[in-house]
Amino acid sequence: MAKKQNLLEKLQSSFENKNELLLSVKEKQQHERLLFVLEQKMFNIGITDADMHLAIKDKYGNDYTVSYVQTCKDVTIIERFIAHDVNPEADPHKTWVRYMVEQMCKKAYNIALKKGESYNMTMAANTIGKHHLTDKEDVVKPPFDDIIPFVPEITGDVSVLGIKPIGKQEVKELRTKLLTKYGANELLEIEDLKVIDDEAEK
């Protein structure tokens, strides 16, 4: 079963092929409103949700049935839409805020430039620079393709684990200590031990 497209995906596809966009009457109304919100955001990126709501009322009339809450939702959809276009991999809210700040700083820079206010020009340019971390060195990713992974070799040498090999003399000393401690008459030799296979016994 195909996944149902949400309105944001339909909005994105509408820019690619408007003729293939199939919407209900309610969706067409919202689609038109979203395009209007997008247009308002492009021309006045710092517009508040309240002013956006008034702008929608002015465009469609006071009889247009859209609540303030719905306007806020429409604004969120458009902000996510713009953020996804700017950087699809990043967090949409942070991407939108960075984009908004950068655009507003550019506008502030141009206003200061026309007025000849060098201090405000510097402040706007400095804010943009901070958002793009121009005061820091670029993070260079390590050359992962050039890294040769370590391939462990199978070995019977226990010294690689930090264990010292036990010699015959150490074994004799251990036997003597055990005899003294536990009072055993003799210790079984390794050859005297027999491994019992449970499966074979059954």
Instruction: Convert the pLDDT of each residue in 106-121 to its tens digit.
Output: 889 999 999 999 988 8
User: Is 27 among the domain residues?
Assistant: no
CA distance 110 to 189: 94
For residue 141, give the DSSP letter: P
Position 51 scores a pLDDT of 92
CA distance 93 to 106: 20
User: Is 102 among the domain residues?
Assistant: yes
182 neighbors 191 (Cβ within 8 angstroms): no
Query: Token digits for 108?
Result: 């502030």
User: Is 54 among the domain residues?
Assistant: no
User: Is 170 among the domain residues?
Assistant: yes
Instruction: Work out the end-to-end distance of the chain between its first and last CA atoms, rounded to an integer number of angstroms.
Output: 55
**Which residue in 93, 158, 106 sits closest to 132, CA to CA?**
106
81 neighbors 8 (Cβ within 8 angstroms): yes
CA distance 81 to 29: 18
User: Is 150 among the domain residues?
Assistant: no
Position 1 scores a pLDDT of 34
Query: Token digits for 54?
Result: 């008034």
Answering whether pTM is above 0.75, one says no
User: Is 148 among the domain residues?
Assistant: no
User: Is 33 among the domain residues?
Assistant: no
Tell me the H-state helices in the chain.
7-16, 25-43, 49-60, 68-86, 92-115, 118-131, 168-182, 198-201
Position 173 scores a pLDDT of 83
User: Is 140 among the domain residues?
Assistant: no
Position 52 scores a pLDDT of 92
Residue type for 88, please?
Answer: P
Position 42 scores a pLDDT of 85
Reduce the DSSP state of residue 149 to 3 states and report it. coil
- Tally of structural domains, the chain: 2
Owning domain of residue 115: 93-135
Low-confidence ranges of the chain (pLDDT < 50): 1-5, 187, 190-193, 195, 198, 201-202
